[in-house]
C-alpha cells in the first residue's frame, strides 16, 4: 500500500475470523533474550514489522547471527546465541521509533560495554529514556546523551558495574524496568542484583510478559510485590530450544471492537484465555460495555449486544488497547471516561492530544486532562479526514469509525498515511476489509 491515504466506505456489518500477527512486545523481547542466551533458538511466528526489523538489523550489526526460514505455516527465525558476549564491540544502530527495541538494547549494550551509538526517527528523540540511563549510570555504566539530555540519541562506552541495587521510576514507562530486568543476569555475575521501583509501576501486565519470558530462558527472578526484584548471581540465559510468539493482543482489540460495534461475531485467533499478554483484558472492558465475549485457549470472539454502554474505568494496565475503547465510546449510550492514561503522552505521539483532536473531527465532544480523556458521542458520526501522526494505533483505531449499525451509506472516512500500520501490522487494512461485509 503506497497511497498517502485510504478511503473506507461505511460498513453496516462485520463478521469473520482474523489470524493475528505476532505480538510486538513478545517478539522484540524474545529476539534480545535469544541473542544473549547460550545455544541456538528457533523463534516461530515472529512478528514481521518495522519494529522487529529494527531489532533484527541491530542484532546483525552487533554480530549476532540469525536466519529466517519460510515454512508452509509461517516463519522460523534461527538465532545463534552469543552467551552475553557480543562479537562486535562497536556499532552505529538506527532504532526507528521502536521503544521495545531501543530501551532493552540500551541496557544490554551499557552493561556489556563497548562503543555504540543509538539513534532513531525525530519522534524517538522526543521519547524519554532518562530514567533508564540514570539507573544504569548510577550502577557504573557509561551512557551519554549526544542531543537533548534525557532523550536519544545515545553514545555508550565501556563502564564498570559496581552496584548491587538499582532503582528506577515506574511511572513513565514500564519499558525501563523491563530493560533492567532483562540485563540483570548479565550484571549479577558475582553477587545478587536488586532493582527497586520508585513510585507507582504502570503497565504491570507488560512486566508480567517480561518476567514470563525471562523464566522461559532459564533465569529465576525473585519478586517482592511490584516494589523490588532480585536476581541471584551465576544465572545465564539458556536457549529454550523452540519458542512460539503469541498473536498480538493489542492488535486483537480493533477486531473485537469491530464485532462489538457492528454485529459480529468476529473471532481473533492467536490469543486466548491462556495468553501471557495483559491486553487480553481488553475483552473484559468490552464486556463492561455490554458486549458478548467468548474465549477459548487460543481465540477470543466478540458479538454485539445492542448499543454499547458508556464506561468509566482505569486503563493504566492496558494503555495501548485502551485507545480502542476511546473509539468504541463513539457508539456508547453516554459519556465514557478513560482514566490513568498519562503514559499516552509519551508514546509514538502524544496520544491524548491526538485522540482528542481526531475524535472532535467526527463530531464527538471531548475533554482531555493530563491523564484522562472523556468522550461524549455525537448523535451522528461525521465523515472526516483523519490524521495519524505517524502512529500505527491511530490509523488502526480510526478505521473503526467507518462502522455503523445504521449504515450511513456512501459516506467515507479517509485515513491519512495508512502505511504507518507497518510498525506492528503491515496487513491491517486487508484484514479489516476481510471482515467488513
Per the annotation, binding residues for 3-phosphoshikimate are 24-25, 29, 173-175, 203, 320, 347
Cβ contact 107:78 at 8 Å:
no
Cell numbers for 258, please give them: 469491530
Catalytic residue among 51, 320, 387, 417: 320
Distance CA 372, CA 364 (A): 16
Give DSSP secondary structure letters for 316-376. TT-HHHHHHHHHHGGGBSS-EEEES-GGGGGSSS-HHHHHHHHHHHTT-EEEE-SSEEEEE
Residue 320 among the catalytic residues: yes
Location of C-alpha cell 528523540: 125
Cβ contact 191:231 at 8 Å:
no
Distance CA 311, CA 328 (A): 10
Closest to 415 measured CA to CA, from 378, 369, 383: 383
Element (H, E) at 144: strand 142-145
Tell how far CA 136 is from the center of its chain. 23
**Binding-site residues from annotation for phosphoenolpyruvate:** 24, 99, 127, 175, 351, 393, 423
**Binding-site residues from annotation:** 24-25, 29, 99, 127, 173-175, 203, 320, 347, 351, 393, 423
Cell numbers for 355, please give them: 485522540
Cell numbers for 304, please give them: 454485539
For the annotated catalytic residues, the residue numbers are: 320
Amino acid at each position: 500500500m503506497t497511497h498517502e491515504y485510504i478511503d473506507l466506505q461505511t460498513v453496516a456489518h462485520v463478521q469473520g475470523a482474523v489470524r493475528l500477527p505476532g505480538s510486538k512486545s513478545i517478539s522484540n523481547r524474545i529476539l534480545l533474550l535469544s541473542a544473549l542466551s547460550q545455544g541456538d533458538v528457533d523463534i516461530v511466528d515472529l512478528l514481521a514489522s518495522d519494529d522487529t526489523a529494527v531489532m533484527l538489523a541491530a542484532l546483525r550489526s552487533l554480530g549476532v547471527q540469525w536466519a529466517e526460514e519460510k515454512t508452509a505455516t509461517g516463519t522460523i527465525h534461527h538465532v545463534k546465541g552469543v552467551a552475553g558476549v557480543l562479537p562486535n564491540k562497536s556499532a552505529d544502530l538506527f532504532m526507528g521509533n521502536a521503544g521495545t527495541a531501543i530501551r532493552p538494547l540500551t541496557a544490554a549494550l551499557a552493561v556489556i560495554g563497548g562503543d555504540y551509538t543509538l539513534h532513531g526517527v525525530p519522534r524517538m528523540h522526543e521519547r524519554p529514556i532518562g530514567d533508564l540511563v540514570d539507573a544504569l549510570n548510577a550502577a557504573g555504566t557509561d551512557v551519554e546523551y549526544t542531543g537533548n539530555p534525557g532523550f536519544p540519541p545515545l553514545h555508550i562506552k565501556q563502564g564498570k558495574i559496581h552496584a548491587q541495587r538499582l532503582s528506577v521510576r515506574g511511572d513513565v514507562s514500564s519499558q525501563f524496568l523491563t530493560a533492567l530486568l532483562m540485563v540483570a543476569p548479565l550484571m549479577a555475575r558475582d553477587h545478587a542484583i536488586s532493582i527497586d521501583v520508585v513510585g507507582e509501576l504502570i503497565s504491570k501486565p507488560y512486566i508480567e510478559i517480561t518476567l514470563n519470558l525471562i523464566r522461559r530462558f532459564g533465569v529465576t527472578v525473585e519478586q517482592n510485590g511490584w516494589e523490588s526484584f532480585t536476581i541471584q548471581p551465576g544465572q545465564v540465559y539458556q536457549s529454550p530450544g523452540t519458542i512460539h510468539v503469541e498473536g498480538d493482543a493489542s492488535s486483537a482489540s480493533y477486531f473485537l471492537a469491530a464485532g462489538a460495534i457492528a454485529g459480529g461475531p468476529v473471532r481473533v485467533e492467536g490469543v486466548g484465555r491462556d495468553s501471557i499478554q495483559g491486553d487480553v483484558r481488553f475483552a473484559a472492558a468490552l464486556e463492561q460495555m455490554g458486549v458478548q465475549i467468548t474465549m477459548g485457549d487460543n481465540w477470543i470472539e466478540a458479538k454485539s449486544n445492542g448499543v454499547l454502554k458508556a464506561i468509566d474505568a482505569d486503563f493504566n494496565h492496558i494503555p495501548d488497547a485502551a485507545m480502542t475503547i476511546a473509539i468504541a465510546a463513539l457508539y456508547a449510550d453516554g459519556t465514557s471516561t478513560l482514566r490513568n492514561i498519562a503514559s499516552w503522552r509519551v508514546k509514538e505521539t502524544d496520544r491524548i492530544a491526538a485522540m482528542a483532536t481526531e475524535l472532535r473531527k467526527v463530531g464527538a465532544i471531548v475533554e482531555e486532562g493530563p491523564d484522562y480523556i472523556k468522550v461524549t458521542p455525537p448523535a451522528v458520526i461525521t465523515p472526516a479526514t483523519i490524521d495519524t501522526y505517524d502512529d500505527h494505533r491511530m490509523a488502526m483505531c480510526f478505521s473503526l469509525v467507518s462502522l455503523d449499525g445504521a449504515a450511513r451509506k456512501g459516506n467515507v472516512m479517509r485515513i491519512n498515511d495508512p502505511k504507518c500500520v507497518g510498525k506492528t501490522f503491515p496487513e491491517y487494512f486487508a484484514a479489516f476489509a476481510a471482515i467488513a461485509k
